[in-house]
Amino acid sequence: MDREDLWRALGLDLEAHGALLEALGPLYQEVFLSQENRPEGMGYFDSVVADIHGARVAELLQIRESGRPVVGTFCVFVPKEVIWALGGACVGLCAGVEVATEKVEELLPRNLCPLIKAFFGFKLARLCPYMEVCDFLVGETTCDGKKKAYEIFEAYKPLYVMQVPQRKDEASFTLWLEEIRRFVNHLEEVLGKALSPQKLREAIELINRKRKALARLNRLRFNDPPPISGRDALLIHQLAFFDDPERFSSRLEALCDELEERVKAGEGVCPPGTPRIILSGCPMAIPNWKVTHLVETSGAVVVGEESCVGSRYVGELVAVSETSRKGLLRALAERYFKIDCAIFTPNPERRRHLASMVAQSGAQGVIHYALKFCDPYTVESYLVERESPVPVLRLETDYSPEDREQLRTRIEAFLEMLS
Amino acid sequence: MDREDLWRALGLDLEAHGALLEALGPLYQEVFLSQENRPEGMGYFDSVVADIHGARVAELLQIRESGRPVVGTFCVFVPKEVIWALGGACVGLCAGVEVATEKVEELLPRNLCPLIKAFFGFKLARLCPYMEVCDFLVGETTCDGKKKAYEIFEAYKPLYVMQVPQRKDEASFTLWLEEIRRFVNHLEEVLGKALSPQKLREAIELINRKRKALARLNRLRFNDPPPISGRDALLIHQLAFFDDPERFSSRLEALCDELEERVKAGEGVCPPGTPRIILSGCPMAIPNWKVTHLVETSGAVVVGEESCVGSRYVGELVAVSETSRKGLLRALAERYFKIDCAIFTPNPERRRHLASMVAQSGAQGVIHYALKFCDPYTVESYLVERESPVPVLRLETDYSPEDREQLRTRIEAFLEMLS
C-alpha cells in the first residue's frame, strides 16, 4: 500500500504528518548516521526508522483487517503476552516529541509530564499512525499524571485501565494478580474467545526471546570498548515496542553475533578507556535521543539504560514451567511485579539494580534523567544520588531542544569531574 | 508551662518561630477580625488561633508524657478512630506556608506541590511544634509526591505509611481493609496493647460527633444569607485537625445553635442575594486563606468547600451498629473508602458530590482551587469544569502572596460574569 494512502486511510493530518517525518531525517542523520564504527547489523534498524510510520503500520493494519486486535500501550506493566496469546498484536505509541501544545493545554494542565502531553498531542493532531491503527489502548495507574489523564483521553480512544499497586507486599501482589485476571477476562469477553494455555506459553516464549536478545545486547555493552554506541542501543530498545517481535529478535540476535565478534577482535565504537555512563530514570520515546546524543558527543559513551526503555523493560523472563492457565497467569504476575519502577514505595530494588549495572559495566558515573514534573522520578532521584556507588548528575528536562546547550555544559562539567 | 519553655523543650528554632507567629497576627486581623457581623461563637476559635502553637501543643505534650502516643497525619484517609481508641491522640501538621525553601530544595525537586515542600520546611527549620510533639507520623500513598517524599522524610521522623488503592472496586476494597488491619496490628505491636472493640466504638462516636457538628455547620451555610462567612467556616474545618475533638465538638455545637438563631432571625454575614461560591479542590492548611479571602472581599460569599479541609473530611459517619473488632474495622474501611479524592480513577463520585453541594447551597459558581503541580487535582479539574452545573473558574496557585492581585482580577471577572 502506498504510504500516503495508508496514512489517509488512518485519518492522519497528511500535511502536518509530512512535516513531522521530514524533520526526523536530518535529526537521524545527525544523531545516528554520522557515527563512526557502527556495526553492520544496525542497517536493519536504520531501515525500520527510515520507514517508521510505514511498513510496520501497514502490517498492523493487515492484522486488524484480518479480525485480530491491535492494542496500544504506554507502559512496561501491561502484560503483552496475553494480547499476543489471544491472537492480537501489541504496539507502543508516539510520545517522544511535543506536538499540538495549544490543543493539549485545553485539556491538560501546562505543568504536566511532557510524555503525557505528547501522546495527547499526537492524538489531537492526528499524527500517530500507531495510535490510529489500534482497536483500543491499555493504560495503567502507574503515575498520577497518566492515571488521571486517561479519564480525559478515553473520550478520544477506547481505553482499558489496569490498576498497578504501589507497594511490594503480599496484599499488593494479590491485587496485581487479580488485575491480570480481570484484564484477561476483559480481553476474552471483548474478543469472544478463550485464552489457551498453550498459546499463552507460546506468547511468553515469543516475548522472552525478545527480552533475552535485549539482555544479551546489554551484557555485550559491558565490554570496554563497547561494541555498540549508547545511541544505537537506545534506538533498539525503542524499536522493541514497535516491531514484530519475531523479526526483531532474529535481527537483534544476528547483531549480537556481530557484536560478539567485535568484542573478540577488541573492536569498539570508541577507544578503550572512554568514560562510561549509565543513564537512569524516565523512559525516552522516539525521537527523544537528546541526552544520550549529548553524552556521546561530549567524549563519553553510554553503556546502559536503567529505564523502562532499557533494563527495566528487559528485566526478568516469565517462567514457563507452568502449564495451567492459573499457573501461567501467576508466573506473568510475578514477573511484572518485580519491575522496580519509581511508583513503588519503598523502592530499594531500583537502587540495588542500578548499583549492579554500575558494577557490571564499570561505569564511572550515572546521569539521572527525569522528565519535568515527573514526581516519582524527580523525587526518587535524591535517593538514587545518595546511594549511588559513583557520582550522579541529576537532569530534569522536557522535549524542547532549547535547553540543549545548557545540558551540554552540565554534562561536560560532570564528565570533567569524573576524569 | 511558659510558651517559650514549651517550644524550647520541643527543640524549635525560637527566633525563626517567633517571627513566624508574629507574621500571623496582622494576617489574622486582616482576614478574620476585620469581618463584620461575625457570630459570637467564633470567639473560641479566635482564641485557639491566638495561641495556635501553645495551649493545644502543651496538652499534646502532656498526653505524650503520660505515656500515650501522639500521632501526626497529613491526610483524611488515616483512620484516626483507631489511634484514639488505643489511647493516643491524633493531630494535623503545619503545611500551609512556604518556609526554609532552600533547605527543602536540597531534598526535593523545585517543581513539587507546595504542601509537601511546606511540611518538609517546617521540619527542617524546626518550626512546627505539632510535628515535634508527635511520637510518629502516619503517611499514605495518596499522591505520587507525598508517596515518594515520605521515603526521604523518614530520615527526619519515624513514619508509618498506609497504601491507599486507586480504584473503587472489590479487589481495591479488599486491599484497603487489609491495610487498616495491618495498621491496627502495627499500632498494637508498637504500643504493646490490644485494641478493645468497646474503646473503638467510643472513638468512632467521638469522631462521628465532630463530623456531625461540621456537617451541621455546612448545612447552615446553605441558607441565604449564610449565618457565617466562608473564612470562618474554613478556619473551623482547619482547626478540626488540631483541637481536642470533644471540646471542639461542643464549641462547634454551641456555635451552630447560635447560627440557627441567626438563620431564624434572617441574620447573616452579608446581604441576602450575595453571589454564592463553592470552593472545590485541594486542601487549604492554616494559614492558607488566600482564595477565600479574595472571594469574600470581592463581593461574594463562600458557602462550601468540596475539599479535604471541608466536605471531604466531614463525609459520612462510621456505622457503629457493629460490636466485633472485625465488624468495626470493616465499618471503618467502608467509611474511608467512600472518600471521593482525585487520586481515584475514575472518580465520578466527586463530581456528583460537587453538583449536589451546588444544588443544596444555591451557589452560582464553583472556584476550582488546585495547588501548583498537583496532578490529581489539576488534571481532574478539566472534568469538574466540563460536568459542573454552574460556571467554573479554575485556579492553580501556591502559597506565595505574589499572585494575589492576579488572582483577584480573575476572581472579580468571574463574579462579574455570574451576575
Chain B positions touching A342 (Cβ under 8 A) are 148
Q: Which one of A150, A175, A181, A186 would you mutate to disrupt binding with B, by most B Cβ within 10 Å of its Cβ?
A: A175
Angle between helices A197-220 and A245-264 (to 10 degrees): 30
Chain A positions touching B373 (Cβ under 8 A) are 111, 373, 375
User: Looking at the predicted structure, is the pLDDT value of residue A261 above 80?
Assistant: yes
Q: Select from B82, B93, B90, B75 the least CA-distant residue to B142.
A: B75
Could you tell me the pLDDT band of residue B400, with boundaries at 50, 70 and 90? very high
Q: How far, in Å, CA of B97 to CA of B99, rounded?
A: 6
pLDDT at A419: 84
Minimum-distance CB partner of A112 among B112, B163, B375:
B375
* Selected residues 179-218 of chain B with any CB under 8 Å from a CB in chain A: 179, 182
pLDDT at A86: 97
> A155 at the B interface (CB within 8 A)?
no
Q: Which one of B375, B385, B394, B397 would you mutate to disrupt binding with A, by most A Cβ within 10 Å of its Cβ?
A: B375
Q: Which one of B186, B378, B379 would you mutate to disrupt binding with A, by most A Cβ within 10 Å of its Cβ?
A: B379
Minimum-distance CB partner of B382 among A145, A152, A372:
A152
Chain B positions touching A148 (Cβ under 8 A) are 342, 345, 375-376, 379-380
Q: Which of A227-236, B110-119, B318-327 has the lowest mean pLDDT?
A: B318-327
Report in angstroms the alpha-carbon separations of B264 from A45, B11, B42, B268, B271: 79, 50, 19, 10, 15
Minimum-distance CB partner of B379 among A108, A343, A376:
A108
Q: What is the CATH number of domain B3-39+50-195?
A: 3.40.50.11890
3-state helix, strand, coil in chain A (%, to 5): 55, 10, 35
Comparing A322 with A217, the larger pLDDT belongs to A217
Overall average pLDDT of the B259-276 stretch: 97
Average pLDDT, chain B: 97
pLDDT at B320: 86
Q: Select from B292, B347, B245, B153 the least CA-distant residue to A151.
A: B347
> B263 at the A interface (CB within 8 A)?
no
Strand partners, B393: B367
Determine, for residues A347 and B151 on separate chains, whether the beta-carbon distance falls below 8 Å. Answer: yes
pLDDT at B399: 96
pLDDT at A11: 98
Where residue B280 falls (left for φ over 0; alpha for ψ -120 to 50; beta otherwise) is beta
**Spatial CB neighbours of B248, under 8 Å, sequence gap ≥ 6:** B210, B213, B239, B240
pLDDT tens figures, B75-85: 999 999 999 99
* Selected residues 303-362 of chain B with any CB under 8 Å from a CB in chain A: 342-343, 345-347
pLDDT at A12: 98
Q: How distant is the Cα of A34 from the closest Cα of chain B, in angstroms?
A: 36
In the β-sheet with B136-140, what is the strand arrangement from edge to edge?
B89-92, B70-73, B136-140, B159-162
pLDDT tens figures, B85-122: 999 999 999 999 999 999 999 999 999 999 999 999 99
> B159 at the A interface (CB within 8 A)?
no
Note whether B96 and B285 are within 8 A (CB): yes
Percent of chain A beyond pLDDT 90? 99
pLDDT at A1: 75
Chain B positions touching A108 (Cβ under 8 A) are 379, 382
* Selected residues 373-412 of chain A with any CB under 8 Å from a CB in chain B: 373, 375-376, 378-383, 396
pLDDT at A320: 86
Could you tell me the pLDDT band of residue B40, with boundaries at 50, 70 and 90? very high
User: Looking at the predicted structure, is the pLDDT value of residue B5 above 80?
Assistant: yes
Overall average pLDDT of the A41-63 stretch: 97
Tell me the count of A-B CB pairs closer than 8 A.
Answer: 134
Could you tell me the pLDDT band of residue A321, with boundaries at 50, 70 and 90? confident
Chain A positions touching B174 (Cβ under 8 A) are 171, 174-175
- Quick one: closest CA in A to B143, which residue? A144
Please give the span between the terminal C-alpha atoms of chain B, in angstroms, as a whole number.
Answer: 53
Chain B positions touching A167 (Cβ under 8 A) are 141, 163
User: Looking at the predicted structure, is the pLDDT value of residue B1 above 80?
Assistant: no
Q: Which of A297-311, A317-331, B281-295 has the lowest mean pLDDT?
A: A317-331
Overall average pLDDT of the A298-317 stretch: 97
Chain B positions touching A175 (Cβ under 8 A) are 165, 171-172, 174-175
Angle ∠(A195,A201,A202) on CA atoms, nearest 5: 100
Q: How far, in Å, CA of B46 to CA of B44, rounded?
A: 5
Minimum-distance CB partner of B112 among A108, A167, A375:
A375
Could you tell me the pLDDT band of residue A24, with boundaries at 50, 70 and 90? very high
pLDDT at A41: 98
Could you tell me the pLDDT band of residue A66, with boundaries at 50, 70 and 90? very high
User: Looking at the predicted structure, is the pLDDT value of residue B269 above 80?
Assistant: yes
Determine, for residues A172 and B175 on separate chains, whether the beta-carbon distance falls below 8 Å. Answer: yes
Q: What is the β-pairing status of strands A159-162 and A276-281?
A: unpaired
Average pLDDT, chain A: 97
Q: What is the ipTM of this complex?
A: 0.97
Taken in order B274, B276, B282, B284, the sign of the CA dihedral is positive
pLDDT at B321: 86
pLDDT tens figures, A351-390: 999 999 999 999 999 999 999 999 999 999 999 999 999 9
Got the DSSP string for A178-229? HHHHHHHHHHHHHHT-PPPHHHHHHHHHHHHHHHHHHHHHHHHTTSSS-SS-
For chain A, the residue count is 419
Where residue A126 falls (left for φ over 0; alpha for ψ -120 to 50; beta otherwise) is left
Q: Which one of A106, A120, A151 would you mutate to disrupt binding with B, by most B Cβ within 10 Å of its Cβ?
A: A151
Q: Please, where are the H alpha helices in B192-289?
A: 197-220, 230-239, 245-264
Chain A positions touching B370 (Cβ under 8 A) are 109
Q: How distant is the Cα of B411 from the closest Cα of chain A, in angstroms?
A: 19
User: Looking at the predicted structure, is the pLDDT value of residue A239 above 90?
Assistant: yes
User: Looking at the predicted structure, is the pLDDT value of residue A176 above 80?
Assistant: yes
Determine, for residues A166 and B147 on separate chains, whether the beta-carbon distance falls below 8 Å. Answer: yes
Domains in chain B: boundaries: 3-39+50-195
Overall average pLDDT of the B6-12 stretch: 98
Q: How far, in Å, CA of A104 to CA of A184, rounded?
A: 32
> B156 at the A interface (CB within 8 A)?
no
Q: How far, in Å, CA of A350 to CA of A341, rounded?
A: 7
